[in-house]
Amino acid sequence: MKIKRTRLLSCLIAAGCFAPVVSHATDGYFSHGYGMKAKGMGGAAIATAQDAFGGANNPASMVFAGDRLDLGIDWFSPRRKIERTGSGGFGAGSLDLNVDSDSTNFFIPEFAYNKMLSQSMSLGVSVYGNGGMNTDYPGGQLGARCGAPVAPANALCGTGRLGVDLTQLIIAPTLAYKVSANHSLGIAPLFGYQRFEAKGLQAFGPLSQSAGDLTDKGHDSSTGWGMRVGYLGRLTDSFSIGAMYTSKMRMSPFKKYQGLFAEGGDFDIPEHYGAGVSIKPADRWMVALDYVRINVNAVKAPGNPSASAAPLGASNGPGFGWQNINVFKLGVQWQYSDKLALRVGYNHSDNPIGPADVTFNILAPGVVTEMYTAGFTYAFDAKSELTMAYMHAMNNSVTGSSFFNNFGPGVGGTEKISMYQNSLGIAYAWKF
């Protein structure tokens, strides 16, 4: 037992090294899936038990996953664009522009471990990330057109580069127990670390209750915790059901940015829950379908409307205006041979951003709604396998009236934010 505890502790320490590089988003600012097998199936995993990422998908699945270690890396490439047209400007020419965000390549590790303590109990850990609210627009597009004292100006009339960087790392130690041969329950306390930085927002200083804690303060960090619980039932050899619930993760505030985020820098991770089914309609085939609800609007920093008249940083101050979203995930797996499994998937989520909040979401244009995935697993032998997964998120956009129109009719014209994404990942698994 001492060896088992030492191995699990080593895994947790290694997982902590992933924190600085997690940045991934497709379903709002959540990943479309956790674990490379789920990513190849549109993210569907609540009613399956194919790897050790149950702490991220459904804790109850871990007791069916066996002894294994999953380790991989995902290349993620989001492409974001701002367009502003028909603007009158502040008297020194229009504010029209067309600019793409830099920072288009991220490499995201994934890690999970599971150990069977008995035939009916398992203990493991899943390490995963959220984020993707990462933008990095070059400055100077507007020159002196924003007026004194800012010149040359970025897309939001601030100085220097414009953007934000939000990354979230979650470590989920997971205990699962079979209440009978085919039914299990699981629980995973969630320990979260997040990091944030904002740049180029100087023009919003007069709108903040603490302008010195608004922008260009470097990275700040936050920690907190929550809980995930789950159920998995294998009702027949070919039909399984699952469900999971994740509480809001209460995070400490970003003190360096208490003049930007509502509630003095608070940025909790929202409550979400879901249910899924998996069906084996024929030999070597599996179909999985998940539904997930993400209640992001209940967190004030992303959820408050950007048109709020209160100061930035106040409890009811402006946010990103993100709405709650529903996500549907569909995956199909074909066991082509004893060694090779092939996968395809589709993921559809609501767009959390409406036309009224376009300007603030230049910083976080999480507007994609449709994703297509494919992947495979090749088993070298009974103890090791290689998995790859690809995802393409279709280009989507939102158009609305610019926030700058509040300073005079037609000053800001019309703005359009758009994004598409690609990812390609590889993972290796050892079975013990």
Residue of 155, 31, 40 lying closest to 96 (CA atoms): 155
Q: pLDDT confidence of 25, banded at 50, 70, 90?
A: low
Q: At 211, which CATH number? A: 2.40.160.60
Q: What's the pLDDT at 13? A: 42
Residue 70 — φ and ψ, nearest 5°?
-115, 125
Q: What's the pLDDT at 15? A: 46
- CB atoms near residue 431 (< 10 Å): 16
SS3 track for 8-76? HHHHHHHHHCCHHHCCCCCECCECCCCCHHHHHCCCCCCCCCCCCCHHHHCHHHHHHCCCEEEEEEEEE
Could you read off the pLDDT of 114-130 as tens digits, one per residue? 999 999 999 999 999 87
Decide: pTM greater than 0.85: yes
Could you read off the pLDDT of 299-327 as tens digits, one per residue? 999 999 999 999 999 999 999 999 999 99
Indicate the burial class of 316 (C-beta count within 10 angstroms; 0-12, 13-18, 19 or more): middle
Q: How far apart are CA 37 and CA 425, in angstroms?
A: 10
Residue of 409, 387, 417, 393 lying closest to 52 (CA atoms): 387
Q: pLDDT confidence of 132, banded at 50, 70, 90?
A: low
Q: What's the pLDDT at 131? A: 65
**β-sheet bridge partners, residue 170:** 128, 192
**Which amino acid appears at position 369 of this protein?**
T
Q: How far apart are CA 420 and CA 77, in angstroms?
A: 9
Indicate the burial class of 238 (C-beta count within 10 angstroms; 0-12, 13-18, 19 or more): middle
Q: What's the pLDDT at 150? A: 61
Could you read off the pLDDT of 384-411 as tens digits, one per residue? 999 999 999 999 999 999 999 988 888 9
Provide the domain count of the chain: 1
Q: How far apart are CA 347 and CA 291, in angstroms?
A: 10
Q: What's the pLDDT at 5? A: 44
Q: What's the pLDDT at 148? A: 58
Could you read off the pLDDT of 62-112 as tens digits, one per residue? 999 999 999 999 999 999 999 999 998 887 678 999 999 998 888 889 999
- Whether the per-residue pLDDT at 10 is higher than 50: the answer is no
- Whether the per-residue pLDDT at 27 is higher than 70: the answer is yes
**Which amino acid appears at position 56 of this protein?**
A
Give the dihedral of Cα atoms 43, 45, 47, 48; nearest 10 deg. 140
Beta strands in 104-162 (DSSP E): 106-118, 121-134
Q: What is the mean pLDDT of residues 155-170?
A: 92
CB 76 within 8 A of CB 131: no
Domain of residue 422 covers 2-431
